Amino acid sequence: MKNVCKICGDKTREIFHEKLNIKYFQCLSCDFIFKGDEFIISSEEELARYNRHNNSIDDQGYVEYFKKFIDTAIIPYCSGTKNVLDFGCGPSPVLAEILKKDYNFSVDIYDLFYFPEKNYEGKKYDLIVSTEVVEHLKNPLDYFLEFAKLLKDGGLLSVMTLFHPSDDERFKSWWYINDVSHIGFYNLKTFEEIAKKVGLEIIYTNNKNYITFKK
């Protein structure tokens, strides 16, 4: 069946965005919203978009953006030196640098386009962080299953992505969908389904853009 939910496999309903001329599909069970496959840009277009980003460790606002995430969604739930994977770190792994420099964590980095070597294979981590990444994933459940396998028992997965609005009109006017590389959108109900499917427990969320899971 076409356009079944990519998280739970259940039926979906169509949300047609008249202005963008794009079809989205919302799961009737877990609320996951995803862009129709025919509207997803190519890898080349996606990379070209990322190459226009200009984020740097020297940008104090960008650093504070990450430190707020770390201090809110990570530090209260872990202790001691941590072995960390920054998954989807982008061209400038600012988050990884902050975790190493300011928090004394040991960090591996991976990014499909910029750091594609899968140096995480065969390892186990105390913490996996993924910031502004999961909204780009075509088959997100596969990645969450991989994250769960990479975590040590008691390990944390901390994710940053903006939770979608609950009604159609707010969704259609939501600025987050204007980024053409954003193809999947979550809320707490979606993440609860993911946690159940991959064997993780939600231990924190601000119900806005941060969520932390524990294995």
CA atoms within 13 A on the CB side of 66: 25
pLDDT at site 172: 98
Q: Mean pLDDT across the stretch 71-97?
A: 92
- Closest-CA residue to 6 (of 167, 151, 144): 144
User: Which CATH number is associated with domain 12-214?
Assistant: 3.40.50.150
Reported as a single tens digit per residue, the pLDDT across 50-73 is: 887 766 676 788 899 999 999 999
Please compute the mean of the pLDDT values over residues 186-196 and round it to a whole number.
98
Residue pair 158/85 in contact (Cβ under 8 Å)? The answer is: no
pLDDT bin (cut points 50, 70, 90) of residue 81 is low
Residue 109 is predicted with a pLDDT of 98
Scan for tokens 């009604």, then name that residue: 167
Q: Where exactly are the structural domains of the chain?
A: 12-214
At 8-28, the pLDDT tens digits run 999 999 999 999 999 999 999
Confidence of residue 47 (pLDDT cuts 50, 70, 90): confident
Q: pLDDT band at 166, cuts 50/70/90?
A: confident
Query: For residue 51, what pLDDT is reported?
Result: 80
Exposed / middle / buried, residue 203 (Cβ in 10 Å: 0-12, 13-18, 19+): middle
The label of the residue with tokens 């980003």 reads 53
Of residues 176, 150, 160, 143, the one with CA closest to residue 70: 160
Average confidence (pLDDT) over 101-127: 96
Identify the pLDDT of residue 122.
Answer: 94
CA distance 191 to 198: 10
What values do phi and psi take at 132, rounded to 5? Answer: 55, 50
Look at residue 204 and tell me whether its pLDDT is greater than 70.
yes
pLDDT at residue 214 in the model: 97
